[in-house]
Amino acid sequence: MRNRIHMNNAYDDLLEFLADDEPVVGIVFGDWCDEFSSPPDPAIPKEIHGKLLSFTAARPYLAADWSFRARKSSADTYAAYIWTDRRVIWVVEYDGATWLDSALRDPRDCRPATAGRS
């Protein structure tokens, strides 16, 4: 089992982060973030890194043994951009800890916040 703050996989993490009525319209995966550990098996194939996937196509990769939320000094996650109908979501990494953050998809009046603060 990987070094995580909970037992969820990336699919569960994403569902917890989304609003109940917020559909995912696309996902792009990047590289494995932790240079000192190997990606889980099965890894997301390198040939789809950087390629836009539907939520359905991405789901098997999201359900593997890895999480968007990793503990300090263990960035065991993939970089990703996730588009919904209202925002863009990405992985934040600080000192090895990782979590999801987002910004509104379209420009509008809002109150910006720094990463990690709501």
Chain segment 4-24, per-residue pLDDT in tens: 444 589 999 999 999 999 999
pLDDT for the residue numbered 72:
62
pLDDT for the residue numbered 116:
59
Provide the whole-model pTM: 0.86
Contact 99, 69 (CB under 8 A): yes
Q: Percent of the chain having pLDDT more than 70?
A: 87
Tell me: the pLDDT tens digits for 55-73?
A: 999 999 999 888 888 766 6
Question: Does the pLDDT at position 2 exceed 50?
Answer: no
Query: Minimal CA–CA distance to 33: which of 3, 74, 71?
Result: 74
pLDDT for the residue numbered 13:
94
Handedness of CA 17, 20, 21, 23 (dihedral sign): positive
One-letter amino acid at 32 equals W
